[in-house]
Chains A and B, each alone.
Chain A
Amino acid sequence: KQEVTQIPAALSVPEGENLVLNCSFTDSAIYNLQWFRQDPGKGLTSLLLIQSSQREQTSGRLNASLDKSSGRSTLYIAASQPGDSATYLCPGAGNNRKLIWGLGTSLAVNP
């Protein structure tokens, strides 16, 4: 059964640090992967989508990569800001295209 593990579960850093959030799947057969952020009590905001033919995506201070051989994805956040504080989720879709969700990484960036 496909499961997603996100490490660390929680992270608290001072403003300005570069961060790496990790996501791993028990089954490495990931078709595509999308990183989201979720603010407390709010919806899911799409950050980056890595499609089946891609290995990496960048948007501003965010860079996400997907290693299909190992079933791992990382989200790199450069020069973190307090506004980056949120829970980050990385649901991946296997060959059945069904999204598998983890519990997320709760990030706090302190001014």
Chain B
Amino acid sequence: EPEVTQTPSHQVTQMGQEVILRCVPISNHLYFYWYRQILGQKVEFLVSFYNNEISEKSEIFDDQFSVERPDGSNFTLKIRSTKLEDSAMYFCASKTGANTGELFFGEGSRLTVL
């Protein structure tokens, strides 16, 4: 069964360092998303991506964050100059269409900022 894959599963970094989280969405999906979940809190939307550009972003997704689809398969989230409060589980998700279709999530990348 097709699945969304994310790497790394866990990354520990020092405050101020840059982090890149990688995702491989399901191959025939066209809409890609990043969400995050701080421990014990709700899942929060970060950004949606379609047709090689950001279609929507939340207030959380400030200049510290960026997304890229560098090739036909990978979808990356870059966090520049990480802060302690960036420690969270980051989930990538994809779906076939904007208004229809099931949203599939990866297993997540746990980011710990020290």
B interface footprint on A81-101 (CB within 8 Å = 1, 0 otherwise): 000000001010000011101
B75 within 8 A of A: no
**Minimum CB distance partner of B44 in chain A:** A101
Interface residues on A, range: 20 to 34
A71 within 8 A of B: no
Query: Which 7 A-B residue pairs are closest in the complex by CB-CB distance?
Result: A43-B107, A44-B105, A101-B43, A49-B102, A101-B42, A43-B108, A43-B105
Name A103's contact: one of B42, B89, B99, B102 (CB within 8 Å): B42
Interface of A is mostly: loop
Residues from chain B with Cβ under 8 Å of A45 in the complex:
105
Count B-side interface residues using an 8 Å CB cutoff.
21
Residues from chain A with Cβ under 8 Å of B107 in the complex:
42-43
Residues from chain A with Cβ under 8 Å of B102 in the complex:
34, 46, 49
Query: Number of A-B pairs whose CB atoms are under 8 Å?
Result: 42
29 contacts between A and B (CB under 8 A): A31-B99, A34-B102, A36-B105, A41-B89, A42-B107, A43-B91, A43-B105, A43-B106, A43-B108, A44-B43, A44-B91, A44-B93, A44-B105, A46-B103, A49-B101, A49-B102, A52-B99, A89-B43, A91-B43, A97-B98, A97-B99, A98-B45, A98-B56, A99-B45, A99-B103, A101-B42, A101-B43, A101-B44, A102-B42
Interface residues of B in 73-114 (CB under 8 A from A): 89, 91, 93, 98-108, 110
What is the interface of chain B, defined by CB distance below 8 A to chain A? 41-45, 56, 89, 91, 93, 98-108, 110
